[in-house]
């Protein structure tokens, strides 16, 4: 903890970093008149807001499955004959060769033409405060996203795209059921350049007056942590699913020995296959996981075959959950998951899980370091004691209000663990005796609340308080709180949320938390870039808003 009561920072950063590393954004943010662009072919810039095309190899990278299907359809018979030891060509094949070649050539030509048309009619533009993508030949479609409403930007590189040096950009907005805009594919350097431009505009950095129309350079970053592969493998082997599979295997062996029926062993086959597939997916997604902090947000990189780079602008995380399974406790490992608008509604469950994981497995110091990036101002002068009690405490210390003793029969193991406390900036909810969880919800991210009380809860005069945020793996729910305490928290949290929303919003976050950064960019000066805990000024993403005063309970 630093002298001003903030979380300790992940490290230090050179305070003399050049101003070019944090170059201002292009014009075109809301309220501006011009638009700058980077030409995808020659790398020069222009200010006319013209439409640009993606890389010519993009349709082939996306449609390689169609080409493989064509090859399989025409070569399947030859392949099967070679495996069976039969002649590769049957009698009379020579007479059909011209027709087969003509059919195959026609199908291949149609596929290539469709690829070319797809590339030709796929264009994108960054202008007027929006990023727009036009697609489609017969059925035209335009998708757009406001730059100052972009929740996160991901750079995705499937294996084939990595071979060609290409990358896909995914722009997430608050109300998108899937990625609002998907731009595939660009050269990796151009993708990073475009991401830096979008994030600079979303942050609210103004245009460089000495070089109008110049693209924003990628902001420098400071590494925070990385997850060793050995720890990742250990966390998978000690996961809950491994425990239940082992228990199921032991039960199958015992039942087979008792009943003298070997059929129980067959139940292990699908379980083993499913476990292996799950292990591979988690290992592939979590391999080489690294986290860094930059002026444009929290940067996450991970992936073995398909790599992904996420950038989460500060303040866009709606809720955070730190969890610890029982088998991880001897090693002191924790997992952090978050709710980000747009991330919780991804159709692919595996992809959604990877994109909402802020830390797949880490030590207590790692968890605190990541928490300091999400919540730079903990709102209390004793963050180590308060958040430490939320993760490990079993009593009512550090200001936590727990389930009253009269309701211990409803949760005989967890009634002293379940509890809540509120700092000036966030509400903390802890739960679980064996599967420990700490949920952190910034006050300004509280969208609505509800009190739930069933028949047994009425009998013991307790209630559950549910906080509503965006969809995701984190479900903020305070269980079995005393009825009077739950009502008081309902009123107080309403007041805190209303006050926090008037003081901080997500749009143009850099202008709000560090107005001098924009002025410094315009005047050619270096904006603050040192992370909290360093000898220099705090980094812009970790600059805390003014601490709010606690209000008495009243209805919001």
Q: Say if strands 221-226 and 401-402 run parallel, antiparallel, or are unpaired.
A: unpaired
Give the Å distances, CA to CA, from 115 to 69, 118, 125, 166, 185: 15, 5, 21, 17, 13
Cα–Cα distance for residue pair 433/393, rounded to 1 Å: 10
- On whether the CB atoms of residues 198 and 326 are closer than 8 A, the answer is no
**DSSP one-letter code for 533:** T
Q: Say if strands 426-431 and 419-422 run parallel, antiparallel, or are unpaired.
A: antiparallel
Full-model pTM: 0.74
Give the Å distances, CA to CA, from 169 to 131, 145, 204, 308: 11, 13, 21, 10
Beta bridge partners of 130: 127, 146
- On whether the CB atoms of residues 339 and 474 are closer than 8 A, the answer is yes
Please, is 169 exposed, middle or buried when counting C-beta atoms within 10 Å of its C-beta (0-12, 13-18, 19+)? buried
Cα–Cα distance for residue pair 155/184, rounded to 1 Å: 10
- On whether the CB atoms of residues 186 and 3 are closer than 8 A, the answer is no
- The total number of residues shown for the chain amounts to 556
- On whether the CB atoms of residues 483 and 454 are closer than 8 A, the answer is no
pLDDT in tens, the chain (556 residues): 554 555 555 444 443 333 333 333 333 333 333 344 444 333 333 334 678 888 888 888 877 766 677 676 666 666 666 666 666 666 655 566 677 777 777 877 887 888 888 888 889 888 877 888 988 888 888 888 887 777 778 899 988 888 889 999 988 776 555 556 888 889 999 898 888 887 777 666 655 556 655 667 777 889 999 999 999 999 999 998 888 888 877 887 787 778 877 766 677 777 778 888 888 988 998 999 999 998 878 999 999 988 999 888 767 789 999 999 999 999 999 999 999 876 755 545 556 678 889 999 999 999 999 999 998 889 998 888 899 889 887 655 578 999 999 999 998 888 888 999 999 999 999 998 889 999 999 999 998 999 999 999 999 999 999 999 888 899 999 999 999 999 999 999 999 999 998 876 555 555 544 443 333 333 333 433 333 333 333 333 333 333 333 333 333 3
Q: What residues contact 101, with CB distance under 8 A and at least 6 apart?
A: none
Q: What secondary structure, in 3-state letters, does 66-122 show?
A: HHHHHHHHHHHHHHHHHHHCCCCCCCCHHHHHHHHHHHHHHHHHHHHHHHHHHHHCC
């Amino acid at each position: 903890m630093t002298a001003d009561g903030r979380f300790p920072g992940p490290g230090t950063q050179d305070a003399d970093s050049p101003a070019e590393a944090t170059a201002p954004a292009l014009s075109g943010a809301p309220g501006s008149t011009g638009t700058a662009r980077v030409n995808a072919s020659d790398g020069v810039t222009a200010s006319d807001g013209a439409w640009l095309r993606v890389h010519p190899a993009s349709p082939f990278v996306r449609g390689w499955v169609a080409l493989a299907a064509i090859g399989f359809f025409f070569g399947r018979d030859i392949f099967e004959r070679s495996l069976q030891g039969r002649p590769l060509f049957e009698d009379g094949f020579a007479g059909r060769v011209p027709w087969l070649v003509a059919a195959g050539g026609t199908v291949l030509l149609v596929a290539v033409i469709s690829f070319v048309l797809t590339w030709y009619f796929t264009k994108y533009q960054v202008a007027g405060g929006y990023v727009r993508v036009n697609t489609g030949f017969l059925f035209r479609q335009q998708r757009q996203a406001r730059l100052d409403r972009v929740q996160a930007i991901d750079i995705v590189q499937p294996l084939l795209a990595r071979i060609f040096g290409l990358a896909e950009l995914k722009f997430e907005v608050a109300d998108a059921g899937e990625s609002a805009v998907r731009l595939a594919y660009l050269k990796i350097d151009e993708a990073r350049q475009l991401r830096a431009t979008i994030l600079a505009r979303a942050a609210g950095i103004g245009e460089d007056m000495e070089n109008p129309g110049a693209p924003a350079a990628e902001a420098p970053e400071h590494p925070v942590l990385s997850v060793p592969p050995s720890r990742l493998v250990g966390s998978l082997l000690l996961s809950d699913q491994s425990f239940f599979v082992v228990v199921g295997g032991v039960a199958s062996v015992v039942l087979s020995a008792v009943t003298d029926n070997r059929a129980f062993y067959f139940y292990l086959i699908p379980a083993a296959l499913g476990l292996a597939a799950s292990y591979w997916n988690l290992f592939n997604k979590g391999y080489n996981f690294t986290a860094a902090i930059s002026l444009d947000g929290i940067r996450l990189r991970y992936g073995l075959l398909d790599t992904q780079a996420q950038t989460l602008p500060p303040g866009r995380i709606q809720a955070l959950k730190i969890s610890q399974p029982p088998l991880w406790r001897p090693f002191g490992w924790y997992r952090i998951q978050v709710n980000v608008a747009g991330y919780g509604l991804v159709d692919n469950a595996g992809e959604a899980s990877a994109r909402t994981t802020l830390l797949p497995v880490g030590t207590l110091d790692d968890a605190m370091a990541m928490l300091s990036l999400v919540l730079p101002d903990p709102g209390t002068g004793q963050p180590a004691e308060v958040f430490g009690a939320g993760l490990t405490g079993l009593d009512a210390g550090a200001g936590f209000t727990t389930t009253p003793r009269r309701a211990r029969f409803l949760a005989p193991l967890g009634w002293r663990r379940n509890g809540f406390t509120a700092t000036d900036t966030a509400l903390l909810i802890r739960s679980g005796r064996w599967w420990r969880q700490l949920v952190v919800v910034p006050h300004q991210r509280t969208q609505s609340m509800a009190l739930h009380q069933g028949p047994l809860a009425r009998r013991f005069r307790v209630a559950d308080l549910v906080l509503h945020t965006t969809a995701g793996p984190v479900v903020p729910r305070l269980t079995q709180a005393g009825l009077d305490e739950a009502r008081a928290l309902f009123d107080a949290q309403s007041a805190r949320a209303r006050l926090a929303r008037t003081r901080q919003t997500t749009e143009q976050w850099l202008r709000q938390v560090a107005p001098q950064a924009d002025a410094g960019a315009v005047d050619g000066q270096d904006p603050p870039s040192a992370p909290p805990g360093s000898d220099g000024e705090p980094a812009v993403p970790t600059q805390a808003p003014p601490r709010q005063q606690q209000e008495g309970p009243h209805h919001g």
